[in-house]
Structure 1
């Protein structure tokens, strides 16, 4: 097969932890590898919030605007990756085209890092609860805590899985800190609920559980919310028990965005795309999904993990692995060689014991 002098086009969708890391991986590639690629990063224009700082916003340690950035050309210090500030409307995997508001962008390989969308899986929850992932909601929750004189604050995991596993516990600690600082902690009951049988991380649940106990935070396990009554301020769980609240904060039910779910098979019935754990490839040729949209199955028995948690740290290492796979394809194409879609790629983010 003759060598191909045409550049291999990589399109990255989303400028969150995963997408930006994929772009940085291209920026940091060798000159030889970078010369093989034409790379494009597509991200919705306007402000973007770093949700990992939500508990800090709740505590009043940082302001929401301090953890908000604008994705704009020149603002990301990219020289090898072209930034397209546009909204993805659809992905045509058959014709290898991404359609945006402004037009169409073709690709040879596609890395999708579009996060999750919230949806109404638990009647009443989304309207009644402060969203733990939203910094504006955390500002509002802080204000409500400071105004309230007494009551019950419930911090609930709305459904599994959810992004940033420690978030509900960090939020509960922030609630505790705000109330203590205001000198009225004794007037409040703080309760954390989760559908899980224990706290995270699974290999050391006692860490958060001991911290909650020390702070007088109640912890209710195996508690999947089934409905929220905003009028009577009650959360009902699937075991029939209910819990009254004064203020309710929660991780809202999450799934891959519609643009992702409409473009490729959703192998995880919870609404996510199952990917190969070693390469992040999907069942659709030349499409990778990383970050919160993906279900990454692992076999890490020592940690009690069967599915990779959804967190920015993991999205970042997944991005580097995906770009390695793309570069392998680009090298093969440049050399006029064919590559097997099932060719193994070293997964730099997985412990060796989890790659079986």
Structure 2
């Protein structure tokens, strides 16, 4: 029928476009690990089948609904992203997309609540706690990306403050007792820059609303958390890469140790001095928590988000290199003309 012919044509166009995307990926530098880490633990034949035959057609994106309106019955985790840019936080969009793709790999339903003030964030979690569908999730993860201070206060859109402890209380609900709640905080905890040291070397069931929580913060108290305007935050980048590579084979505490190790190895120069960063975790977990890979549809959804991010970053780098080359060539020609003149 005409409808079938149109469907086949659209499918061919979609596959051809997708082929071009994967062709572009072949030129991504070898140090771009995050996309390839997604395939860790999968048989190569399964990865090939996923790439070449299992990409869904015209499945669209699920919009952000309030109060779990589109939470699928087979998605067992809920991830809530709270980006709060205040002024300009270049790189926050990259963090947001990287987190979205990463948690989709593990079957989490992802919700974003951008730039809330004090009243809005309280109302948001009040509605969330009252939603009966919250009882069906097995894990809640919350990530806040904002500015912070030495007292572990995180800043909201109206410049009011919320402590990390109060954020944890906002997410407390009877239906989440004995279920893991994971909090990731990308915020400074002071203004000092952490300096690296260069060494030369060869029975009964008891429930408690404060239990089964884990809080991972981008830096230790008193120090800054760093963010690259093009590539996003150091902490979010290393967290997502560790989750993509180890999240399905190691408990979350071990994944965060991998994150901290990678952060510690980052050393950069800023204002004529070297800086580094170290994350800090606190938890009341009563058992190991390990994430499980999502089913094929949801895994593919997350994979496509990460592919889009990788290709965008590569194209931006190429455009930046071209612009710098143009400026360099113009300066060289100006010098030559000046000498000849």
TM > 0.5 fold call? no
Higher-helix-fraction structure: 2
TM-score when normalising by structure 1: 0.23
Higher-strand-fraction structure: 1
TM-score when normalising by structure 2: 0.23
